[in-house]
């Protein structure tokens, strides 16, 4: 009973800490456009800033996972939260693009440290039967923090454009202190499995590197799903990276306006995932859901260019976020069907292609924005619609093979 209470207490603390950190990340979203305009930064630099976070996280994630195995989950989580706090405070103090890049790259390192360690900790303190539920709670705390954060940030910005960054830094420090004092180390449960870890470690040299996995991904039966993952993350990252700049320059939206749109669009996606997503998958199947969501996302990204009233912008953004929020788990479900005994390997490729989209999308969006503020959405919409066509073509090929 004491062990069960300790495990549940640790999970609750991890959820609380992740909620604080991701609320801190979310609350700066609505103020970034005004902030970088104040520092006279163009769209290309803004895109590179966003991409630098994803790139650093992708590069450091494998190292961070090994550090949590060597030094314990708690230490890595605490260090990650401290790095996050410092990154946000530096962003708030920044008066040059160089400091902004330092801050965003530190943020990527913090994400690389925190997420693998938290997931490993959850695996350490839960049974196999409880693990899926535990991971669900962790993802829910991340989503909740990210949903609430922009709304809070939009209102905090009324006290000063730099204040949300300082608030995010304080949230990270609070989470780090709470973790350091209260969270027990789960290293003991790792020690119990040392024999298995040593056997697994003996095989790591024969495993493919991340570069090799990406290079030979075209051979896999789920390669089209990986392409959809890349296009989806590219489209969403492209859309989000310059959304604030787009509505600030074109429609003169305030941080509070942007916060409202992001918050309620995200809430809509979360509600659908928690309520009718399973029914949609059972009723229409993965392929139909993926195909329709790609079409809806592409069409509504293009519609962004033709609406000018606040509530129409809100409605269009809501549909885009909703489509992506349904598309993401639908693709993951489809890929898991192909994966069979290689679930971890496929999940790693899924994450890698997502990160590639998160890197390429903002860079392309920023460069296109500097040419013409409408171009990023033209390109993102066309690519999403082309991917919709690809899924239709592949689907028709499967039907022909089945009938042959």
User: Are residues 339 and 346 in contact, defined by beta-carbon separation less than 8 angstroms?
Assistant: yes
- The fold for domain 1-184 equals Growth Hormone; Chain: A; (1.20.1250)
352 contacts 210 by C-beta, under 8 angstroms: yes
Asked if the domains at 1-184 and 210-403 fall in one CATH topology, the answer is: yes
Burial class (CB in 10 A: 0-12, 13-18, 19+), 223: middle
In DSSP notation, 35-73 reads HHHHTT--HHHHHHHHHHHHHHHHHHHHHHHHHHHHH-H
Q: What pLDDT, on a 0 to 100 scale, did the predictor assign at position 139? A: 66
Tell me the Cα Rg of the chain.
21
CATH number for the region 210-403 comes to 1.20.1250.20
Which of 99, 315, 219 is CA-nearest to residue 306?
Answer: 315
Q: Return phi, psi of residue 127, to 5°.
A: -80, 170
Stated length of the chain: 404
pLDDT given for residue 2 in this prediction: 40
| Burial class of residue 315 (count of CB atoms within 10 Å of its CB; 0-12, 13-18, 19+) | middle
Q: Which of 215, 216, 224, 225 is nearest to 335 (CA)?
A: 225
CB 176 within 8 A of CB 78: yes
At a CB cut-off of 8 Å and minimum separation 6, what does 240 contact? none
pLDDT of residue 127: 67
**Two structure tokens written together for 34:** 């005004």
Using CA atoms, how far residue 79 sits from 72, 215, 336, 379, in Å, is 11, 33, 33, 39
Sign, CA torsion 384/389/395/401: negative
Domain ranges of the chain: 1-184, 210-403
> How many other CB atoms are there within 10 angstroms of residue 322's CB atom?
22
**pLDDT tens track, the chain, 404 positions:** 344 445 667 777 777 777 777 777 777 777 777 777 788 887 788 788 878 888 887 888 767 767 777 788 888 889 999 999 999 899 889 888 889 899 989 988 888 788 777 777 776 776 666 665 666 677 667 767 767 777 788 788 888 888 888 988 998 898 889 888 888 776 554 444 444 444 444 344 345 566 666 677 777 777 888 888 888 788 877 887 788 788 888 888 887 788 788 778 777 777 787 678 778 888 888 888 889 999 999 999 999 999 988 899 999 988 988 888 788 778 777 776 666 556 556 666 776 787 788 888 888 988 998 899 999 999 999 999 988 988 887 655 554 544 55
Check if the beta carbon of residue 357 is closer than 8 Å to that of residue 331.
no
Token readout for 256 is 């509070």
Q: What is the pLDDT of residue 187?
A: 57
d(C-alpha 386, C-alpha 17), whole Å: 40
State residue 303's pLDDT score.
Answer: 95
Give the Cα separation of 370 and 376 in Å (integer): 10
């Amino acid at each position: 009973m004491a062990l069960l209470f300790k495990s549940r207490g640790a999970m609750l603390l991890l959820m609380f800490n992740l909620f604080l950190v991701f609320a801190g990340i979310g609350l700066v979203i609505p103020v970034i456009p005004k902030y970088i305009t104040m520092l006279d930064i163009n769209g290309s630099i803004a895109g590179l800033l966003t991409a630098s976070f994803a790139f650093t996280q992708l590069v450091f994630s494998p190292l961070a996972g090994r550090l949590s195995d060597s030094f314990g989950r708690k230490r890595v989580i605490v260090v990650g939260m401290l790095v996050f706090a410092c990154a946000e405070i530096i962003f708030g103090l920044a008066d040059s693009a160089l400091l902004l890049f330092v801050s965003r790259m530190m943020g990527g390192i913090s994400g690389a440290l925190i997420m693998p360690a938290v997931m490993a900790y959850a695996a350490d303190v839960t049974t196999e039967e409880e693990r899926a539920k535990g991971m669900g709670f962790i993802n829910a705390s991340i989503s909740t923090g990210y949903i609430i954060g922009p709304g809070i940030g939009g209102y905090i910005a009324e006290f000063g454009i730099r204040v949300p960054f300082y608030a995010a830094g304080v949230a990270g420090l609070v989470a780090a202190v709470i973790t350091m004092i209260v969270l027990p180390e789960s290293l003991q449960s790792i020690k119990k499995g040392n024999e298995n870890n040593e056997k697994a470690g003996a095989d790591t040299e024969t495993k493919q590197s991340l570069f090799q996995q990406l290079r030979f991904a075209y051979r896999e039966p789920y390669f089209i799903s990986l392409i959809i993952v890349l296009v989806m993350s590219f489209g969403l990252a492209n859309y989000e990276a310059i959304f604030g700049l787009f509505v600030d320059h074109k429609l003169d939206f305030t941080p509070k306006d942007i916060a409202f749109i992001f918050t309620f669009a995200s809430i809509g996606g979360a509600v659908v995932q928690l309520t009718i997503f399973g029914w949609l998958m059972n009723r229409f199947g993965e392929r139909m859901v993926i195909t329709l969501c790609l079409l809806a996302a592409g069409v509504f990204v293009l519609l962004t260019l033709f609406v000018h009233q606040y509530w129409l912008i809100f409605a269009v953004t809501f549909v885009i976020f909703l489509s992506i929020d349904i598309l993401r788990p639908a693709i993951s479900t489809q890929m898991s069907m192909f994966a069979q005994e290689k679930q971890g390997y496929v999940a790693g490729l899924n994450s890698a292609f997502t990160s590639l989209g998160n890197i390429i999308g903002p860079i392309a969006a920023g460069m296109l924005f500097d040419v013409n503020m409408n171009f990023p959405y033209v390109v993102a919409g066309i690519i999403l619609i082309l991917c919709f066509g690809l899924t239709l073509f592949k689907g028709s090929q499967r039907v022909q093979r089945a009938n042959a």
